[in-house]
Structure 1
Amino acid sequence: MSKVLIVGAGGVGSVVAHKCAQVSDVFSQIVLASRTVSKCDAIAGEIEKRFNKKITTAKLDADNVQETVELIKSVNPDLVLNVALPYQDLALMEACLATGVDYLDTANYEPPDLAKFEYKWQWEYEKRFREKNLMALLGSGFDPGVTNVFCAWAQKHHFDEIHQLDIIDCNAGDHGQAFATNFNPEINIREITQPGRYWEQGEWVETDPLSWSMNYDFPEGIGPRKCYLMYHEELESLVLHLKGLKRARFWMTFSDQYLNHLKVLENIGMTRIDPIDFQGEKIIPLQFLKAVLPEPSSLGPLTKGRTCIGCVMKGIKDNKDKTLYIYNICSHEEAFKEVGSQAISYTTGVPAMIGAMLMLQKKWHLPGVWNMEQFDPDPFMDALNLHGLPWKVVELS
């Protein structure tokens, strides 16, 4: 029986709170905190209506370390589950160190003034967490998160060496909007507009943004979709922990309509993250754009279709070549029916709950700062099947 403090009340925070409420034998007490406490209260009301479970809410500015320290001391949780913005990772890690509480997040730290997707800032906390006998689990979402665990599971059970890895993320859903992002628009657009990067023969190779593409035929009736090479943070840790890896890439699908809108917004400067002068004030264009785009949580009842996210791995087993595809398919409609959110939030929120559950059960628990693939993948893979993200594995010729 444990208490968890969930920080963040967006689409993912709502899913995490709902899923934790479903596992009350582990999460006996849930506190949901956000800068906008009315969002927390609305989620709490939904959870009480759906599951007849009361959760507590609190107001929190997660950028303010001292305010977070005071809330943690007041709540006395066993774990802080961070689904706020990536900008706030380090502040929340500092608060956990100051109060002696374990930490989990779903995305790596990002400096607000620089679109840089690296773990280095969080990895630097390794010694401090270890010395305080505390654990920090990084990237317990889907990608990063489940994709890391897919790789660890394949390495444990199916390969002597994995030589090539392609992580392929397909959203085959449609929300009917002219232009909208399925998670925080600011984070989403910062990520997509950066140069691509992949690992090849021990080096990082950079590409122009979205300049490489391939067609991939997705299973179970989704069919062929165009995928674009991007950089994604799980590659940074996987190249350190997968044995024999020679190439690692990440691909994501985008519709032509989405990319056309994005190109126009880029061309007129609306995706800039540097401040500009506007009527005597400094504003950041991308933050203004975020304010006028549809709120991602509003897309839940509108989105139809499925996601398909998985890993294609090529390597050797017993001196023979082997290719494996491990994937999950998630329905936007079924996710909304269960927790009131679309599948993008669902596929991030469920793994966050599972990672927290394994930490609280001490199945995954070691002092220090860790990435997902560094733990035994089996209990996580079992939990995915039990909690709404069943996976399949097929051997490809």
Structure 2
Amino acid sequence: MSTPLKNLFFQPDFFNELVAEIKKVYPAFDGDGYLSTVFDENWESLELKARMIHGARSLHDFLPENYTEALAILVPISEKFTGFDAIMFCQYVEEFGLEHFEASMRALEITTVDASAEGAIRPFIIRYPERAMQQMLDWTKHENEHVRRLASEGCRPLLPWNIRLNQFVKDPTPILPILETLKADDSLYVRKSVANNLNDLSKNHPDLVLDIAERWYGDNDHTNWIVKHALRTLLKKGNQHALSIFGFGDVDDVTVSNLTVIPDPIVIGDDLFFSFDLLLKADQTKKLRLEYAIHYVKANGKRSKKVFQISEREVTPNTSHTIKSKQSFRNMTTRKHYPGQHKIEILVNGISKAQAAFMVTE
């Protein structure tokens, strides 16, 4: 069993080092008092994010009451920390900086480099939408890739584990200039964020994202990569417009036969092996996206469909191609399996071409 994240970050070594660094620049800091406040009787029961918030809020009781004076202590030492622990500096800004927009923006511009401030900036976007989005547009020109990424990641409407930006779920227009500026960024780190932002938008504004994809695709390799990853949700849904952008057309001339599933029944914890024959009846090759969907039985007995990609390939005509793949039925933190009749479905360019039922047992 994997170690819980809360036991990997915000450990005593981090807080001891934090106290030592603060005392170097602020000798009046009561390190023992701070540590006692952090590791109180509730500490063990707190999960990861709650521990980060508690650590940041506890700092406030032992630093100068003046926010800008506290930042003058914290921001320089934040550069001595990296990774998830360092996000606590961003959290301090989120907790106590909302009334100090300019000072907080300067702080997040620095602290995001060694941590990640996409969560901390979201209350500022909600409170100061025009000022915050202008700041983020300015950051798209920053020399540091971490700051440029913040410009996109911070305004993702549906960023996991963070506050939803409902104003952008409703109207994503303010986000678009940021994404346009970053669409060919040299940094893969930044491009991933742009793709994820567009993927968020595609869940509520698919036509808008498809229009952007049509306009962007073919510009250069960087932008093409963004478009492909931005449309991943629409591609898995079999959206024909999205598929057509990448050259995946109709499949009326494609047949799938001899779908075989082994073993049946399958025991939870084992691998399911399956194969099928693919035949293209045409005069020339065709580009095909091959996927399969598992219709899982849920705890309540209902089914939930999950799509997995097999490959994308140019298929030669009038020749039978045997396709083989497998799917794990081991329980994971993100998926628990339940006994019952499941279904596997073969998808070609988003169109269902064959299906078969199989049993899952414990």
Q: Which has the higher strand share?
A: 1
User: RCO greater where, 1 or 2, for CA within 8 Å and sep 6 or more?
Assistant: 1
Indicate whether the TM-score tops 0.5.
Answer: no
TM-score normalized by the length of structure 2: 0.30
**TM norm structure 1:** 0.29
